[in-house]
Amino acid sequence: MKKKILIFGSEGQLGHDLAAVLAADYQVKAFSRVQADITDFNSVFKIITREKPEFVINAAAYNKVEAAETQSDLAFTINASAVGNMASAAANAGGVFVHVSSDYVFAGNKALFTEADEPNPLSAYGQSKLKGEKLIQSSQVNYYLIRTSSVFGIQAGKQKMNFVDTIIARAKEDKALKVVDDQIMSPTYSFDLAGKIKELIEKPAPFGIYHVSNQGSCSWYEFAQKILELMSINAPITPISTEESGTKVNRPKKSILKNLALEKEGFAPMPTWQDALSRYLKEKYK
């Protein structure tokens, strides 16, 4: 009998890839926001209690960083309260809870961050993600808490287009490209992230916090340059500072996640972000 996995947020980039990666070896039930609104706490609790899955994976999130400053109640409901509810429901059903958090829980004031570093978010979005982490840790559930960075994936996002597709679309429309060069992160392909989550639960790795991002780091400007290079698009692109971008949100200057826990547990390293981007572009743009 195949183990049962429930996935919430199946319409997003990661949820889509998780369902695809896990389908062959598990009994997967994937719920979109329409099928299971995670802010309907009673409904979600009932689903998990009824299904009694071995694993509950939450791939749903409020990830509009700018809008979270004025919609903080909604951000905290989705990224924190709903997460705590799912953790409690998973514990009640005897399952393991897998949740995906963000590099934005860190202030970005050092070269890189390991799982042992103390979070200190700068934005409402980051604060909501950290609150979700704390609710999981204070629950009775066995959990894999996975922090990742700057995700891009094949499935078109319902909340916003991912950075890769945005750059390509704007370049093809001959729109001026101005991209920040003073925020450094590790772009991560949702397919690679989904694959590593599958490895974690199958080993099974010890419960706890894991950083899972593609190897290497770059600025958003360098990322955009590589996208255009691999797509053979000759478009003008200008580096700008975060201040010049007009953002109203404090963002970490460096949010490079070191996958130290994976390394310690003997997992194979994640592919580089350049390799991940190349595969993504071949898959989506053929």
**Mean pLDDT over each residue of the chain, to the nearest integer:** 93
Single out the residue of 107, 204, 197 nearest to residue 151, CA to CA.
197
Reported as a single tens digit per residue, the pLDDT across 115-174 is: 999 999 999 999 999 999 999 999 999 999 999 999 999 986 555 689 999 999 999 887
Q: Which amino acid is at 11?
A: E
> Has residue 245 been placed in a domain?
no
Number of domains the chain is built from? 1
Q: Beta-carbon neighbour count of residue 202 at 10 Å?
A: 12
> Has residue 224 been placed in a domain?
no
- Please state, for a pLDDT cut of 90, what percent of the chain lies above it: 83
> Has residue 242 been placed in a domain?
no
- Which residue segment(s) compose the domain that 48 sits in? 4-160+186-216+255-271
For residue 213, give every residue at least 6 positions away whose Cβ sits within 8 Å of its Cβ, in sequence order, or none. 103, 148, 149, 150, 186, 188, 193, 257, 259, 270
pTM: 0.94
CATH code of the domain covering residue 16: 3.40.50.720
> Has residue 240 been placed in a domain?
no
Catalytic residues: 125
> Has residue 280 been placed in a domain?
no
> Has residue 181 been placed in a domain?
no
Give the pLDDT confidence score for residue 66 in this predicted structure.
87
Reported as a single tens digit per residue, the pLDDT across 224-261 is: 999 999 999 989 999 999 988 888 888 999 999 999 99
> Has residue 239 been placed in a domain?
no
> Has residue 25 been placed in a domain?
yes
Give the pLDDT confidence score for residue 175 in this predicted structure.
78
